[in-house]
Amino acid sequence: MNDLEALVGRALRDPLEAARRHAAAGGRVVGYAGAEIPVEIILASGAFALRLPVRPELSTASADRYLESGFSPESRSLAAQYIDGAFAFLDAAVLPRSNDSLQRLYYYVWELQARGACAGPAPLIFDLAKLPRIASSLHTRRAAQRLAAELGAAPAALPAAIERRNRRRSLFSQANRLRADGYAFAGSTMERIFRAADCCEPDEFDAAFAAWLSAPRPPDPRVRLVLAGNSAPDDRLHRAVELAGGNVVAEYGEHAACAFGHERPAGDSLDAIADHYWAAPIGSRAIADRAEALLAVCHSARTDGVVIWLLEQEDAQIWDVPAQRAAVESAGLPILVLTRRSWLADDGALERIAEFTRDLGATR
Amino acid sequence: MSGRRDGQARKDLQCTADALAFQKRYAADLKRRVVERGEPFVVAQADTPHEIFHSMEIPLITNQWWSAYISAKQLSKPYFEKMRERGYPDNGCRYCSLGLACTLANDPATAPWGGLPKPTMLVARLTCDCIQYVFGQWAEALGTEFFALEAPAWRRKDPRWFESSNDRWEEVFESERIGLLVEEMHALIARLQEKTGRVFSESRLTVLMDRINEQERYIAEAAGIIGATRPCPVSILDQVPNTMIPQWHRGSDWAVAHARRFRDEVVARTKAGAAVSGNERIRLMWIGAGLWHDQGFYNALETDLGAVFVWSMYMPFAGPQYIRALHGKPLHALASRICSMNEVLHLPPWMNGWMVSEAQRCGIDAAVILVPPDSRLSQSGINITRLSLEESGVPTLLLDADMVDAQGWSRDVIVKHMAEFLRNAGLG
């Protein structure tokens, strides 16, 4: 087993382990949720930036008492861990306003803490505005300044923090490019790596990832699929494709692989970071043509087909389904659309995906 | 009491009939203005600054009113079926999207007014993830633009917000949040002026805001009387139209006069000892949007169980959420009215803090919370509110039903369910 595989395996078995170790050694740890938190600001505060993990294997009973059915399963998992004390060792936790479930969770955790029903740090909110309007951009700049003040991020530390995050951006981008170019990277392996990344000590992870990516790979002859929509709790959708003889070569939507968007921040100031997240085409609040964007991913990945998998709780991406389906079909690509699905994919979704993959293989 | 068909909603006040008649005339006039004369008009969510449109004399169609109008014509089911046929998953927010569904169905033979003509713009606050999608697509289908307003985070978490919201609004709702909405309103005004040629005047807005304050004081006074009087003198079927119809026209001569008349009728009924039910034994609170497709449901428990819905959010909301001391800053005062309208109704600690206070004020025995299955916004905050109410001694029932979609609804089944809940709570 190489360094990266060992690191990823450890991180996925116990996603809090590295952060707890950092805290035990006297370091600060700041948790965050979603892909729209400016991790650069956390890093500039000198803290370990921990992407709060979803844990499908843990009970959510403690959260079910308070959260309504419309909450995303990811936020429900985070709520349960928060209430059950798993995040009590954190120095701070940052939630995004730009994700509906997570911004509601911010208010719920405050309320539960006021009632004495939830341990851990009082959550902070990154008040990201996404409208393409100067007022929203300035509001986001003020939000970044506030978050920096709340976390104690030093302006002088920001350039180095941005550089560290850009290093991660480059690695993700390189990995996604190699997958799209047809080299043999199993989608499930990539999914595990992408998920583990922000639970690991960053320098250690990036060094291991860079070394792993540099190893030569043969071309991959399998059926190529793009996976769009929601993110499953782990790599189970990717594995379903692989077991049927295919491979997920790109993702589109709220997947770990897509966490960074494409561009780097255009500077090393707090304003540049704020502007970057304000304009980034990620998250459900981004103003974007998601049919065109999905089609662009399909073209660059030279895909044989597309699977759109959406949860019962999803109420944003579902509105793009007709346009996305039409765009994909107009490009002559087969598409499987699965909506109102269970997060655990225990509703026949894996079988449907496998069948779709096998059909693609048979007609190739 | 007015005569009615069995099971039909009963409305007792003369001013209710007048409000409904006014709204019918207004709808006909609005149709004439926007459909026949082609005047510019706006489609906007309820939680947007209608005052801007009113002060610029731009006709307004509120999405929620339009949805209720479509729903009342029993068109929600066929229109949502059309959405399914177009490939939309059927777990989308129905309350927000019925107008879009009507437009996409593109069936002038059934659509109210033969369908909406092209509005000047659509306006909505982004209070949940679906809104920019629904309104963006609706705008595209209507061939117009969508002007979105941010819904920023709110850090000051005061469960007693309603005690100081009229005057100390800058502190309660946060000056930065208010400032953002003021900036957005300036942009909205500029765009409206550009597209309609109509001119905004801050002095006209100031007059309007003063008149709205007068109107809302009458409603707040009526809410205070109704909550304090036993037996309840005015049913929610009279409370809601006499609050909401003037609310759609807030600050107009008719709206101010009607609110005063409603207050006067409430006072008169109270003095006369009038009662919604001659057998009031249980005072109920209805939390959530109105059950627009079956308003007769509210009357159904009165006779058998003496259970009267004394409270729904619309009327008591007028006092804390609409009345604003202007402090020489009418746009800022307006922004403070709008920038938390959804949050106080759907998020802790504001929602539960206010509901518990209102339940105590009105001597509520039990509460019913509407839980629409496919509206995350309307679902939000209900579990914590239920806990808060129950901790304060108010048994609370969660009722799974949609406010505009009648599919799956059976009044008889729900009435039995309610009766069982009240019995189990020791109230039946």
Task: Assess if residue B3 is contained within a domain.
Answer: no
Q: Quick one: pLDDT at residue B5? A: 42
B187 in Cβ contact with A133 (< 8 Å): yes
The closest of B294, B243, B214 to B19, measured between CA atoms, is B243
The per-residue b/e assignment along B317-336, b for 16 or more CB within 10 angstroms, e otherwise, is bbbbbbbbeeeebbbbbbbb
Look up residue B249 and give its two tokens: 């026209």
Q: What are A86-113's pLDDT values in tens digits? A: 999 999 999 999 999 999 999 999 999 9
Residues of chain A with C-beta less than 8 angstroms from the C-beta of B379? 68-70
Look up residue B402 and give its two tokens: 């949609």
Strand order through the sheet with B145-149 = B60-62, B42-44, B121-125, B145-149
The per-residue b/e assignment along B289-302, b for 16 or more CB within 10 angstroms, e otherwise, is bbbbbbbbbbbbbb
Helix (H) or strand (E) holding B199: none
Task: Assess if residue B197 is contained within a domain.
Answer: yes
C-alpha span between A356 and A307 (Å, rounded): 9
A183 bridge partner residues: A219
Q: Quick one: pLDDT at residue A104? A: 96
Q: Which residues contact B410 (CB under 8 A, 6 or more apart)?
A: none
Nearest residue in B to A71, CA atom:
B376
Q: What are A231-263's pLDDT values in tens digits? A: 999 999 999 999 999 999 999 998 999 998 778
A341 bridge partner residues: A311
Look up residue B134 and give its two tokens: 């629904």
Task: Assess if residue B7 is contained within a domain.
Answer: no
User: Could you list the residue range(s) of the whole structural domain that residue B68 is in?
Assistant: 14-424
Q: What is the crossing angle of helices B253-272 and B14-31, to 10°?
A: 160
Q: Which residues contact B273 (CB under 8 A, 6 or more apart)?
A: none
* C-alpha A253: how far from chain center: 9
| Strand stretches in B135-281, DSSP E | 145-149
Nearest residue in A to B158, CA atom:
A111
Helix (H) or strand (E) holding B244: helix B236-248
Q: How confident is the model at residue A1 (pLDDT cuts 50, 70, 90)?
A: low
Q: Is B183 on the interface with A (CB under 8 A)?
A: yes
**Residue A359 scores a pLDDT above 60:** yes
Residue numbers in chain B where pLDDT is lower than 50: 1-6
**Residue A347 scores a pLDDT above 50:** yes
Q: Quick one: pLDDT at residue B4? A: 41
Task: Assess if residue B6 is contained within a domain.
Answer: no
Task: Assess if residue B8 is contained within a domain.
Answer: no
Please give the ipTM for the structure prediction.
0.95
**A63 burial type by CB count under 10 A (0-12 exposed, 13-18 middle, 19+ buried):** buried
Look up residue A58 and give its two tokens: 């843990």
Look up residue A78 and give its two tokens: 């985070």
Q: Quick one: pLDDT at residue B1? A: 34
Q: Quick one: pLDDT at residue A361? A: 95
The closest of A146, A147, A150, A161 to A48, measured between CA atoms, is A161
Q: Quick one: pLDDT at residue B304? A: 74
Q: What are A28-48's pLDDT values in tens digits? A: 999 999 999 999 999 999 999
Nearest residue in B to A70, CA atom:
B376
Establish, for the pair of chains A and B, how many residue pairs have beta carbons separated by less than 8 Å. Answer: 113
**Residue A62 scores a pLDDT above 50:** yes
Strand order through the sheet with A29-32 = A48-51, A29-32, A92-96, A124-126
| DSSP-derived secondary structure letter, B113 | G
Q: Give me the residues of B, 293-332, that contact A with CB < 8 A.
A: none
**Residue A342 scores a pLDDT above 60:** yes
Q: What are A111-122's pLDDT values in tens digits? A: 999 999 999 999
A54 in Cβ contact with A233 (< 8 Å): yes
B119 in Cβ contact with B143 (< 8 Å): no
C-alpha span between A290 and A332 (Å, rounded): 18
| Peptide bond just before B349 cis, omega within 30 deg | yes
In Å, what is the CA distance from B145 to each residue of A252, B128, B343? 27, 19, 26
The closest of A217, A177, A181, A210 to A193, measured between CA atoms, is A210
> Considering Cα of B201, then B207, then B210, then B214, what sign does the dihedral take?
negative
A133 and B187: CB-CB below 8 Å? Answer: yes
The count of other CB atoms within 10 Å of the CB of residue B157 is: 15
Q: How far apart are the first and last CA of chain A?
A: 34
Residues of chain B with C-beta less than 8 angstroms from the C-beta of A111? 157, 348-349, 352, 384
What is the number of domains present in chain B?
A: 1
C-alpha span between B242 and A130 (Å, rounded): 38
A70 and B380: CB-CB below 8 Å? Answer: yes
- Options 3.40.50.1370, 3.20.20.140, 3.90.226.10, 3.40.50.11900; CATH for A13-168+222-364 is 3.40.50.11900
C-alpha span between B390 and B367 (Å, rounded): 9
Q: Is B141 on the interface with A (CB under 8 A)?
A: no
Q: What is the crossing angle of helices B131-142 and B94-105, to 10°?
A: 20
A131 and B150: CB-CB below 8 Å? Answer: yes
